Amino acid sequence: MNAPKIIAKGRGATLNNVGRFESREAVWFDDGWGEDEAVERAGKRPKTVIHVETARSIISKNDSPDIRFDQSINPYRGCEHGCIYCYARPTHSYLNLSPGLDFETQIFAKRNAAELLKKELGKRGYQPAAINVGANTDPYQPIEKIERITRGLIEVLNECNHPLTIVTKNALVCRDIDLLAAMAERKLVNVFVSISQLDNDLTRILEPRASTPANRLRAVRELAAAGIPTTVLVAPIIPFINDEFIERVLEASRDAGAVCASYTVIRLPYEVKELWKDWLNTHFPDRAEHVMSRIRDMRGGRENVSEFGQRMRGTGIYADLIRQRFRKTCTRLGLSAANLPKLDLTQFVPPREASPQQSLF
Percent of the chain with pLDDT over 90: 81
Percent of the chain with pLDDT over 70: 89
Q: Which position has the higher pLDDT, 44 or 240? A: 240
Q: What is the pLDDT of residue 38?
A: 46
- 357/237 Cα distance (integer angstroms): 56
208 has pLDDT over 80: yes
How does DSSP classify residue 141?
S
Cα pseudo-dihedral 196, 202, 206, 207, rounded to 10: 70
Q: What is the pLDDT of residue 3?
A: 52
Domains in the chain, number: 1
The β-bridge partners of 260 are: 231
Q: Which position has the higher pLDDT, 327 or 69? A: 327
Burial-class residue 237 by CB neighbours within 10 Å (0-12, 13-18, 19+). buried
The β-bridge partners of 234 are: 263
Q: What is the pLDDT of residue 186?
A: 98
pLDDT digits (tens, 9 = 90+) for 266-323: 999 999 999 999 999 999 999 999 999 999 999 999 999 988 878 899 999 999 999 9
Q: What is the pLDDT of residue 359?
A: 47
> Does 184 fall in a domain?
yes
- 125/123 Cα distance (integer angstroms): 6
- 97/90 Cα distance (integer angstroms): 9
- 193/166 Cα distance (integer angstroms): 8
> Does 16 fall in a domain?
no
> Does 21 fall in a domain?
no
Q: Which residues contact 89 (CB under 8 A, 6 or more apart)?
A: 99, 100, 103, 271, 272, 275
Cα pseudo-dihedral 203, 208, 214, 220, rounded to 10: -110
Q: What is the pLDDT of residue 354?
A: 60
> Does 336 fall in a domain?
yes
Return the amino acid letter for 204.
R
> Does 24 fall in a domain?
no
> Does 4 fall in a domain?
no
> Does 188 fall in a domain?
yes
- 139/148 Cα distance (integer angstroms): 9
Q: What is the pLDDT of residue 62?
A: 85
Mean pLDDT score of the chain: 91
pLDDT digits (tens, 9 = 90+) for 218-231: 999 999 999 999 99
How does DSSP classify residue 222?
H
> Does 283 fall in a domain?
yes
Q: Which position has the higher pLDDT, 12 or 113? A: 113
48 has pLDDT over 60: yes
pLDDT digits (tens, 9 = 90+) for 64-111: 777 778 999 999 999 999 999 999 999 999 999 999 999 999 999 999
Side-chain half-sphere CA neighbours of 71 within 13 A: 15
Q: Which position has the higher pLDDT, 38 or 349? A: 349
Give the CATH number for residue 340: 3.20.20.70
16 has pLDDT over 70: yes
DSSP character string of 184-217: HHTT-EEEEEE---S-HHHHHHHSTTSPPHHHHH
Confidence of residue 216 (pLDDT cuts 50, 70, 90): very high
Q: What is the pLDDT of residue 39?
A: 46
Q: What is the pLDDT of residue 92?
A: 97
Q: What is the pLDDT of residue 311?
A: 84
Rounded to an integer, the average pLDDT of 121-148 is: 96
Expressed as residue numbers, the domain containing 128 is 46-346
Is the bond into 236 cis (omega within 30 degrees of 0)?
Answer: yes
| Contact call for residues 100 and 15 (beta carbons, < 8 A) | yes
Coarse DSSP helix, strand, coil percentages of the chain, rounded to the nearest 5 percent: 40, 10, 50
pLDDT digits (tens, 9 = 90+) for 139-181: 999 999 999 999 999 999 999 999 999 999 999 999 999 999 9
